[in-house]
A = this chain, B = another copy of it.
Amino acid sequence: MSNTYDAIVIGGGVIGGSIAYNLAKRGSKVLLLEKDRLASKSSGAAAGMLGAQAEMDGVGSLFQLAKKSRGMFPTLANEIKEKTGIDIDLINKGMLKICLNDQDQQENKRIITTQRQNGEEAEWLTGSEIRKKEPAVSEAITGAMYLEKDGHVDATQLTLGFLKSATVLGVVIKEYVEVHSFKFSNGKVTGIETNEGHFTSDKIIVAGGAWSNKILAETGLQLDTYPVKGECFSVVIQQPLLSSTIFSHGCYLVPKKGGRIIVGATVIPRTFNQQVTVEGISLLMEKAKYLVPSIVEAEWERAWAGIRPQTADGLPYLGEHPIYKGLFVATGHFRNGILLSPITGEVIADLVEGKEPPLNLSPFRVERMVKQYT
């Protein structure tokens, strides 16, 4: 029947796109539904950093996931380019995690030691070493952790790359389709009702970012997640200003192709409001000027915001619904949705197929910390 699919993915962002792409590569007939436009929410708003080491200190289950995912990008970039012509602009020029004070320096030196003990590359740079690598960094900066392997991609192009590659492999994508309810039978999911009618499948994956909780509400599952607004702006500079990504407390500068720099991001919890405020821009601008004073000469481009899904313990939810079989959840990636998208697509496809994933997913299981259970 025409409205029957092997799997239905809910969400046209980077996570949904990766899952649909991975399922299609394995031969599934997939439908992907997006309530708005593709890549229109946080996936299209992200700066695209692949900060596996910068964001995660080099230990723990999330770091293992992130490290594995970071390693998948070179191959992925080629696959997407070949299938769709889309370049995801993978840049591997390292990240400077700037320390703002002594305490910050002590902590990051400790992190370097830990990371090295675990076999990761991490290096301490003094102020003059920083400026030798990145002359635009302020004289006020006296130390930083350098992470050679943390690069970045174009978040929108990665998202569209997954989605268009999925299309090439036969995935059907429908925009402006909103899920109203699930259909269950004998403890298993059997389909969904939407504003464009009914679709049938016994494998349904919720990858709705910050909106996942609402989609799941009627299943009796209330995940302990909340939305976090992040505001960004971009500037363009004629002469190259930065090579590495500059990362610090509450501010990063990501040098994109053609002289564009993305400055991000504020962290405004518990709101779905996507407005950019004067306060957000003002704060980011002050921090960016402190780190890289000559940013003032850059040309203003534009500002935007995205709503990211955070969880109470900071780990994403990757797994099957605790009550309903065939219903899977992939959300809660917070600031690391772009970085974690390749591995998320792979492990969710494993779960959907009933295969053992290549990593232990128990820290990310859905039932670990639901707020209420009815």
Q: Quick check: B175 and A195 within 8 Å, CB to CB?
A: no
Bound Cα distance A82, B159 (Å): 23
A79 within 8 A of B: no
A23 within 8 A of B: no
Q: Quick check: A180 and B258 within 8 Å, CB to CB?
A: no
Of the listed stretches A182-190, A276-284, A339-347, chain B binds A276-284
Q: A167-B240, A285-B281 are in contact. Are A276 and B300 (CB under 8 A)?
A: yes
Q: Quick check: A196 and B257 within 8 Å, CB to CB?
A: no
- Across the interface, which residues of B come within 8 angstroms of A235, CB to CB? 278
Contact of A214 among B178, B240, B271 (CB under 8 A): B178
A256 within 8 A of B: yes
Q: Quick check: A278 and B298 within 8 Å, CB to CB?
A: yes
Give the A interface residue count (CB, 8 A).
53
A361 within 8 A of B: no
A177 within 8 A of B: yes
The proximity string for A residues 84-107 relative to B, scoring 1 for CB distances below 8 Å and 0 otherwise, is 111101010000000000000000
- Across the interface, which residues of B come within 8 angstroms of A296, CB to CB? 277-279, 282
A297 within 8 A of B: yes
Q: Quick check: A278 and B285 within 8 Å, CB to CB?
A: yes
A289 within 8 A of B: yes
A98 to chain B, nearest CB (A): 19
Q: A272-B177, A277-B297 are in contact. Are A257 and B84 (CB under 8 A)?
A: yes
Contact of A272 among B85, B195, B295 (CB under 8 A): B195
A128 within 8 A of B: no
Q: Quick check: A279 and B258 within 8 Å, CB to CB?
A: no
- Across the interface, which residues of B come within 8 angstroms of A288, CB to CB? 278
Q: A195-B214, A274-B176 are in contact. Are A282 and B279 (CB under 8 A)?
A: no
A299 within 8 A of B: yes
Bound Cα distance A300, B281 (Å): 8
- Across the interface, which residues of B come within 8 angstroms of A177, CB to CB? 272
Q: Quick check: A258 and B295 within 8 Å, CB to CB?
A: no
- Across the interface, which residues of B come within 8 angstroms of A297, CB to CB? 277-279
Q: List 17 A-B contacts (CB under 8 A).
A: A84-B258, A85-B91, A85-B257, A164-B259, A167-B239, A176-B273, A176-B275, A178-B272, A195-B227, A196-B272, A275-B300, A278-B295, A278-B297, A279-B296, A280-B300, A281-B281, A281-B285
Residues of chain A touching chain B, judged by Cβ–Cβ distance below 8 Å, are: 84-87, 89, 91, 160, 164, 167-168, 173, 175-178, 180, 195-196, 214, 217, 227, 235, 238-240, 256-259, 271-282, 285-286, 288-289, 295-300, 302-303
